[in-house]
Amino acid sequence: MDDQAQVPTAGRDATRPALAGPGSLATRLPPHLWFAVSAVFHYLGPAFAVLLFPHVGVLGMAWLRIATAALIFAPLTRPWRTFVGTDTRTRLLLLAFGACLAVMNCSFYLALDRLPISLVAAIEFVGTIGIALVGLRSTRNLVALAIAVTGTLLLTDVRWSSDPIGLFWAFLNGALFVGYIMLGHRVARTGAADGIAGLGAAMAVAFVVVLPIGFTDALPAFFSPPLLIAAIGVGVCSSVIPYACDQLAMARLPRSSFALMLSLLPVTATVIGVVVLRQIPGPADCIGIALVVAGVAFHKPASAG
């Protein structure tokens, strides 16, 4: 299937939220802006989530994150209507996307509980390099990818850990992150499960998958309003905002371009570290930021159509 093909269907308008309609905010703003918003929240959520691990457990925090997103998306996207109004092939795609989201979020948090976030992020980025390579098609884009990867390696202090269990979860998360990009692009470009509506349906599936896994660990949050509010905030920052923005960006960016732009994530992590954690970057970090920005700017996306 062509990454850039869009499949119109009769049920397209029936399941599309107003945000994704023709002439809406989603189509007026450039897709790169949606990606930038996602990139910022990609690390804000995990930063807050780690602080809650001692109170609700790792899997409990994953459960609360997915449950929050599923409950917020449900009234906006009506996932039951999306499933009823699509064909069998699209339903299977949404089921696969939802299962991927559930296991990816759990493995990500399990890795963060045992390994430095820089190592987990570095492993996560490895898989996206392969996606970018598939869609290169030019020497210019190969050079752009090399520049961006060099910058990422400078930014991420990759330290191999002696914790094999943590590494297992980190590599599983990295593999599932590739699946998230590939399945997410198909959902974003399939008319019957257009963008945000497809994401809402997939998030409902993710909630069903994770329901028996972390519910017991998440119970303390229901008896502590401040803890519950904090967990909901993590869910909004980690899943609602970035995943919605990813869908809006994926719908209009080639998959290889989106994968290459993911190299901006270490940049946003560095900026968040300065603003939130007062972690001032060193010379190597500044060089890495400059290289990543240069690589993304030098990259030429495949023409649409």
What pLDDT, in 10s, does the model give residues 12-57? 444 444 444 444 555 677 777 888 788 788 778 877 787 788 889 9
Token code pair at residue 151? 């910058």
Question: CA-to-CA distance for 261 and 204, rounded, in angstroms?
Answer: 28
Greater pLDDT, 1 or 79: 79
Within-domain flag for 63: yes
**Interatomic CA distance for residues 167 and 271, integer angstroms:** 26
Is position 268 within any domain?
yes
CB 188 within 8 A of CB 5: no
The residue with greater pLDDT, 230 or 154, is: 230
Contact residues for 141 (Cβ-Cβ < 8 A; gap 6+) = 132, 135, 256, 260, 299, 300
Residue 241 in contact with residue 37, Cβ under 8 Å?
yes
Q: Can you read off the two tokens belonging to residue 286?
A: 């500044």
Segment of 76-80, 136-140, 262-266, 281-285 carrying the highest mean pLDDT: 76-80
The more confident residue out of 290 and 299 is 290
- Structural domains of the chain, count: 1
* Mean pLDDT value across the chain: 78
Q: Is residue 12 part of a domain?
A: no
Whether 164 maps to a domain, the answer reads yes
Distance of CA 89 to the CA centre of its chain: 23
Q: Is residue 11 included in any domain, yes or no?
A: no
Instruction: Write down the pTM of the prediction.
Output: 0.74
pLDDT band at 159 (very low <50, low <70, confident <90, very high): low
Mean pLDDT of 126-151: 76
User: Any residues with CB less than 8 A from the CB of 165 and at least 6 apart, and which?
Assistant: 114
47-61, 76-90, 114-128 — which is least confidently predicted? 114-128
CA distances from 165 to 113, 114, 162, 214, 229 (A): 11, 8, 9, 19, 31
Average pLDDT for 151-155? 74
Contact partners, residue 227, CB within 8 Å, separation at least 6: 52, 55, 56, 220, 221
Domain enclosing residue 140, as ranges:
30-298
Structure confidence at residue 10 as a pLDDT band (50, 70, 90) = very low
**Residue that is written with structure tokens 């392969």 in the block:** 130
Q: Is residue 305 part of a domain?
A: no
What is the per-residue pLDDT for 194? 55
Does residue 51 fall inside a structural domain?
Answer: yes
Place of tokens 């929050």: 68
What was the pLDDT predicted at 299?
Answer: 67
Is 16 part of any domain?
no
